Each structure stands twice: as C-alpha cells, then as structure tokens.
Amino acid sequence: MDSNKNFVVGIFEDEDVLLHAVEHTREKGLKIHEVYSPFPVHGLDEALGYKRSRLPIAAFLFGMTGTSLALLMQIWMLGYDWPMIIGGKNHASLPPFIPVTFEMTVLLAAFGMVGTFFIASDMKPYKWPRQFDIRSTDDKHVMAIDLATNKMSKEEISALLKSQGASEVNEKNF
C-alpha cells in the first residue's frame, strides 16, 4: 500500500447496509469525512450527526423581504409619488396590492433560498467537485474517511468497513 494516501474509501452497494455501517462505525469512534450517494438516502444525515438545514429560515427571511419590498413599492408609487384616482378607489388601498405582494414574496423566497443553497454548498459552474469514486453518481454509495482525523490505522479502518458490508475498500489521495 502506498503510504501517501490519506483517505480510506469504502464502497457500499445498498443504502440500508450503508446506513447500518455509518451508525456502527461512528459508534466504534470512527470519524467519517463524508458519504456520497447517487440519490438522497433517508436518515443518512441523522446517522452522520448532521444538524437540520437552516435553509428554511433563509427562505422565510427572503420571503418577508419580498413582502415588505412589494408593499412599500406599491404604496409609495400609487399613494405618494404619483397619486391617481383609478375607478374612484383610494390611492393606496391594501386589497388590490395583495396579488403582487404574494408573487413577490414567493419570488424572493425561492431565489434567495436557492442562491443561499449554492453559496452554502459552495457550488459553482466552473468548479470540479472532489470525487472519491466516480461511481458515486451512478449506483454506489461512497464513504470517505480522512486518516488525519482518525487514530485508527489504515488497516484497522479497512477491516472495520469490510466487516460492515463494504463491497470494496480503496484509498485515495487529495
């Protein structure tokens, strides 16, 4: 084995085997760098100990920004900047402003949240991701373990992953 390799990579075929493996290896004190899957595996984020995403909060704040901007815009434009009587109604009455306010709320919440998602996940069109195994977008679940953050030796980790149902254990250097 090449001693320069700093990641141990376990390949799993089945999502349920993977989930058990994640739970058991973490109980044994192994720190998992990250798991890569071709599709979202239910319960994997809890098994890995990830906290719930705070993106819904971002969406709410962006949505409220949309609501306030839309209301301010309409009230200022039709109520103060150029008041006109249209159909004998008040210059700035709330009910006809609701549809545009609703649409602006949805628009800002959606775009703000998706923008935040790209920033939080550090995703850009010109960036190539770090791939431990290229099959992780096809049909394999890939568990990457950083040797630097673990006390166990390469061989011990390898044996542990195999005992937990990994179909292959490889090494990778970054």
Residue ranges in 5-24 that form contacts with other proteins under rule CB under 8 A: 14-16
Which of 28, 31, 34, 162 lies at the binding interface for other proteins (CB under 8 A)?
34
Residue ranges in 84-113 that form contacts with other proteins under rule CB under 8 A: 86-87, 89, 96-97, 99-100, 102-104, 106-107, 109-111, 113
Tokens of 34: 């990250």
34 closest CA partner among 128, 164, 117, 131: 131
Cα–chain center distance at 11: 22
Q: What is the Cα–Cα distance from 42 to 164, expressed in whole angstroms?
A: 19
CB of 27 to other proteins, least distance (A): 18
32 to 38, 42, 63, 71: CA distances (angstroms): 18, 18, 36, 48
Which of 1, 2, 4, 125 lies at the binding interface for other proteins (CB under 8 A)?
125
Q: Widest CA span of the chain, in angstroms?
A: 85
Nearer to other proteins among residue 16 and residue 155 (C-beta) = 16
Nearer to other proteins among residue 67 and residue 156 (C-beta) = 67
36 to 39, 64, 100, 135, 174: CA distances (angstroms): 9, 34, 41, 10, 16
Binding site for other proteins (CB under 8 A): 14-16, 34-41, 44-45, 48, 50, 52-53, 55-56, 59, 63, 73-74, 77-78, 81-82, 86-87, 89, 96-97, 99-100, 102-104, 106-107, 109-111, 113-114, 117-118, 120-121, 123-131, 134-139
